Amino acid sequence: MVKAMMWKLLWEAWDLRVVILGSLLLQILLIFLALLRERVSTALLNTPLWLAYLLADVTANFAVGLISKSQSDTEGPFADPTLLAFWAPFLLVHLGGPDTITAFALEDNELWLRHLLGLGFQCWAVAYAFFQSFPNPYCSCSQQALPDRGPNYAKLMDEYTSKIEARLPTKIEMIPEPIRVNRAGNAKDWDELSDLKVVQDAYNYFSTFKGLIADLIFSFRERIQSREFFLKRTARDAFQIVEIELNFFYEILYTKATVVQGILGYSLRLISFSLNCAALVVFHLTKNKDFKKFDIGISYTLLVGAIALDIIAFLMVLFSDWTAIALTKSDPSLTNWFIKKLQRLLNVNRDRWPRNLEKKPRWFSPRKIMQIVRRRWSESLSQYNLIHCCLHPRPEWWEATIDLFGLTNLLDGMKYVETVDFTATNGLRDLIFEELKMKSELADDLETAKEIFSARGDWILRFESCTDLIRWINEVDFDESLITWHVATELLYNTVDEGRAHTNNESGDATNPRGTDNKNFRELSKLLSNYMLYLLVMQATMLSTVAGIGQIRFRDTCAEAKKFFHGRKIGKSEEGKNCCMNIFTCKCFCDNEPEKGQGQRKTSCCGLNKCCSKGETGRDELQKIACKSILAVNTVVEPVAVKGDRSKSVLFDASMLAQELEKLGSERMWEIISKVWVELMSYAASHCRANIHMAQLSKGGELLTLAWLLMAHLGLGDQFQISEGHARAKLIVRK
């Protein structure tokens, strides 16, 4: 009992001090971790950032409450009331949070009124603490469109009617609105852009198209100007522009960029820094011998911490893209010497993208950290493979247990999802841009653009004269076609062109997706196939408008695949090894090989034609054999005619599609498949709601969001619904 009372008294003496120091520590964590979250897509970053974001407000609120309590209790083991009043304003600064994060999720912006009310109460509590010490909004909610009432039609028609009634020969002549020239589209040449020019163009298009996040519509002029500019760009420049543009979107939604940028923001920052420095000087000169040494140390820590945070935030502002735009958007001939000095001092012409990345840096190396800081999004492509998932299932009891607690998606992400470096993919960026560019060139009018925009694989099949395959897209729902094409791609990937793909890994050009041995199209098809399935299964909200019963169809297809593999003894054995019935070849892998678990090839099959393998080589072999087993099933009768439509599995429908595709020949087949996947991804990107795209920016971003914005700039979308705009009507009266 005595010991418990001692611990209680000890906590009462130190709780406020611990909480205040903890609040400062959380601010330091937030300012650095938030800087990385748009560039890194991993739970290792998002989880501590989420905890720090939630705890920051709670800690500051708790500390203000303790100060109020301490002020009214003069006999307890608390700090001096004067020091308590001195500490309170720092907690208000902590409640405001650092510049790099004002919202963790997009929904936080819609709760700005609640946060403002809470801040008001905290200001009152701090004012109360000040009163007791004497003797005896930021809003970043989604942009809303102002209503457009158009020209005064009633007034014009009244005048027209009066002229007609006066029997004057009158007619209305329409004067079309002139097409204004976009500054971003006035480039004198179309060479590859410098990094600074990329930032400038991105800001110009951000200023024009920021209404996308509020579902605004645009006129034909915006479409023409943007489309003309992007059609003359390289894939590298186009992707870099949309990356920077999405950075601007991120910063206006999740940070204080709109507040701290500009004269007012700089002035407030300077005033805050000056007052903190003045407070440090005054406190140092004040006779504070009556205070406890530890409390004096806390006061110095808060002062130095506030100054350091101000300096860090100011440096981030100075070296941001916003400042580069502010220093270079004026006419160079009118720029004074001070602006030119600042441009050189801040090195606004610096390289903003990592160069020479042929050697992959190690984790936590300085080069790796600099690469992460300089990139604009996570640059990761998540992969989810249905066949691999079914070949490595969990035990049924464990599956039921995690499903009961709602942990299936979380654990599936840890077990089955892999990530690929987008910048290391051999030509994926170029394939996507060239396909979108080709379609944009053909979409001169809005009707053609809408036709292409609404296509989900059928347009490219008609364009490539593969009309026999259209039924696998037009006659089924989007989710069904996605899973069917995913399984078909995997079947062909593991059974066609195996030898050439493994013997020539360096073929193909990174800037041209057409490799001489067709490996690029084959690899890119698999990357997009696995990525789209990942979105369907793990990021269902992004495909919610087009997915339909995708989750049910995926589940049923997995169930049939697992049952099929179990019946053919293909999959994971009880010993945890990859075992299969090798019915296609007498090659057998045994467990006695010392290196990498790869067995020695034998001339005859052992026991029931059974082979076992371990390691990465074993996984590849297992998937090849599984895919061959599926293709070996006779599908002369369509599965729905035999099984009915209760089960939504498309496993053997995909086998039929794979056999149809194989008739095209290897080279043409992979080219068609890759283009179909680009169109499927484009359809999903353009039909995903803007607020969902914006929500992904705080989690590292997705390739789907880049494709969405790129399509809008190329004029492929439903945002351009104003064909004439405000034409001016003029009354002409003839005598």
Q: What is the mean pLDDT of the chain?
A: 78
pLDDT tens for each residue of 512-533 = 444 434 568 999 999 999 999 9
CA triplet 379, 383, 386: central angle to 5 degrees? 170
| N-term to C-term CA, the chain | 109
In angstroms, the CA 351 to CA 87 distance is 42
3-state class of 219 per DSSP? strand
pLDDT tens for each residue of 462-520 = 999 998 999 999 989 999 999 999 999 999 999 986 544 433 344 444 444 444 345 68
Q: What pTM value is reported for the model? A: 0.80
The β-bridge relationship of strands 728-733 and 170-175 is antiparallel
Tokens of 290: 């009556």
At 128, the amino acid letter reads Y
Q: Would you state the pLDDT for residue 350?
A: 84
The β-bridge relationship of strands 218-219 and 170-175 is unpaired
Which of 522, 298, 566, 287 minimizes the C-alpha distance to 428? 522
In angstroms, the CA 451 to CA 388 distance is 36
Mean pLDDT for 627-649 is 87
Distant-in-sequence, close-in-space partners of 255: CB < 8 Å, separation ≥ 6: 34, 99, 100, 101, 102
pLDDT over 90 percentage in the chain: 30
CA triplet 137, 140, 143: central angle to 5 degrees? 135
Distance of CA 665 to the CA centre of its chain: 36
In angstroms, the CA 536 to CA 547 distance is 7
Mean pLDDT for 364-386 is 81
Mean pLDDT for 287-292 is 72
